[in-house]
Structure 1
């Protein structure tokens, strides 16, 4: 074999090796992270998943790892609240979960001012006695979409009138 041909073959072999090396991180990510590659803290938080970790989809593994990091950074009170919310989520039907996801997307699309208003109203609602909250919730659920829109419009007009008096 002549020298020029060998040099071309070496160049192609080198290029092939380099391209494979470039793919290694992507291939590793495609296979996910093995249990042994998790940090000790991640393994502690995710211990109940150890036996099936390698069978989980890569996206789920990544979500769980991010959640484990968040969990480690939480105070005991924050963890208690997170557990409570997880229990509520588990108790929801698929339709309720879908509605919750839709509401979250709608909330994320609000302006910062609108988000602040929603948080304020929610805080006010939660401060009401349980009987009053239940009555308001029942009244709202009994309304059809047109009645709800009219109720919201009346509330906005009352708010504007109150703010105009200030």
Structure 2
């Protein structure tokens, strides 16, 4: 694999490279394949233009959002440490998030924000309580426990 195809920061940080490829391949894959049913080639078989197409969005985001660089780097490093099963669960969670409406996302932000500060047994109790709530009760709980931005 030609390392010149990666931005300098991605060459120095293997996790960032992996995260970029996983996230961007899902976005750019339809544009890369003439036949959507055909398997995509290995990185080494991609043309320089195809490689650039995959990397450009990450480069643009990295350069446009300097304040987010530590967060992006942390996510890439966490992704590298994940097992295949953990990565699969993360993908499923991202898909669920994409299909939530704005109100559901606000509720989940409040719920996850609260759960982060709880020990495991209290987390389990809150999950059970949440599942038993009506939509109106969830909305009220979310307003009372909205995370601080």
Question: What TM-score comes out, normalization by structure 2 length?
Answer: 0.53
- Tell me, yes or no, if structure 1 residue 57 matches structure 2 residue 46: yes
Secondary structure, in 3 states, of the residue corresponding to 1:89?
helix
**Structure 1 pair 119–55 and aligned structure 2 pair: CA distance change class (3 A):** same
Gaps of 5+ in 1: 1-34, 141-147
Gaps of 5+ in 2: 15-42, 141-149
- Tell me, yes or no, if structure 1 residue 120 matches structure 2 residue 97: no
Checking the alignment, whether the CA contact within 8 Å between 1:45 and 1:68 is kept in structure 2 is no
Secondary structure, in 3 states, of the residue corresponding to 1:102?
helix
1:98-117 alignment to 2 at 5 Å?
Answer: 98-117=88-107
The answer for the alignment partner of 2:65 in structure 1 is: 74
Q: Which has the higher helix share?
A: 1
Structure 2: how far apart are the matches of 1:85 and 1:96? 13
Residue correspondences, number: 105
**Structure number with larger C-alpha Rg:** 1
Deviation of 1:69 (Å): 1.2
If asked which structure has higher relative contact order (CA below 8 Å, sep 6+), I would say 2
Structure 2: how far apart are the matches of 1:55 and 1:162? 50
Structure 2: how far apart are the matches of 1:47 and 1:161? 45
Deviation of 1:117 (Å): 1.2
Deviation of 1:162 (Å): 9.0
Structure 2: how far apart are the matches of 1:133 and 1:121? 14
Q: Root-mean-square deviation (CA), in Å?
A: 3.5
**Structure 1 pair 162–43 and aligned structure 2 pair: CA distance change class (3 A):** closer
Checking the alignment, whether the CA contact within 8 Å between 1:107 and 1:115 is kept in structure 2 is yes
Deviation of 1:96 (Å): 0.8
